[in-house]
Amino acid sequence: MVARASTDEGTELSLGKQLLRPRTLISFAISFAIIAYIFARQDIPFAQVWANIRQANPLLYLLGFLTYYSTFVVRTLRWKQVLSNVGYEEQTPPTRTLLRIIFLSWFANSVLPAKLGDGYRGFLLKRNADVSFSKTMGTILAERIVDVGALFSLLLVSGLLAFRDKLPPNFGTLIAFGAGLAILSIGALFVLRYIGPWVARALPARVRPYYERMEQGVLLAYRRRPAWILTLTSLIWILESTRLWFVCAALGVGFAVPGDLPLVIFIALAASLLTTVPFTPAGLGVVEAAIVTVLLPVINDAGLAGSVALLDRTITYWSLVLIGAVIYLFSGNK
Q: For 229-254, what is each residue's pLDDT tens digit?
A: 999 999 999 999 999 999 999 999 86
296-312 burial, b at 16+ Cβ within 10 Å, e below that, comes to bebbebbbbbbbbbbbb
Under DSSP, is residue 147 helix (H, G, I), strand (E, B) or coil? Answer: helix
8 Å CB contact between 222 and 229: yes
Amino acid identity of residue 211, one-letter, is Y
Using pLDDT thresholds of 50, 70 and 90, give the confidence band for residue 291: very high
Alpha helices in 45-195 (DSSP H): 46-54, 58-85, 95-111, 116-129, 133-163, 171-194
Beta-bridge partners for 82: none
Please say if the pLDDT value at position 292 is more than 50: yes
* Res 12: pLDDT: 58
Q: Residues 52-88, buried b or exposed e (16+ Cβ, 10 A)?
A: bbeebeeebbebbbebbbebbebbbbbbbbbbbbbeb
Return the closest-CA partner of residue 237 out of 76, 121, 118, 75: 75
Q: Tell whether the model's pLDDT for residue 255 goes beyond 90.
A: no
The reported pLDDT for the residue numbered 2 is 35
Cα–Cα–Cα angle for 294, 296, 298, nearest 5°? 80
pLDDT 10s digits, 19-58 = 767 888 888 999 999 999 998 998 999 999 999 999 999 9
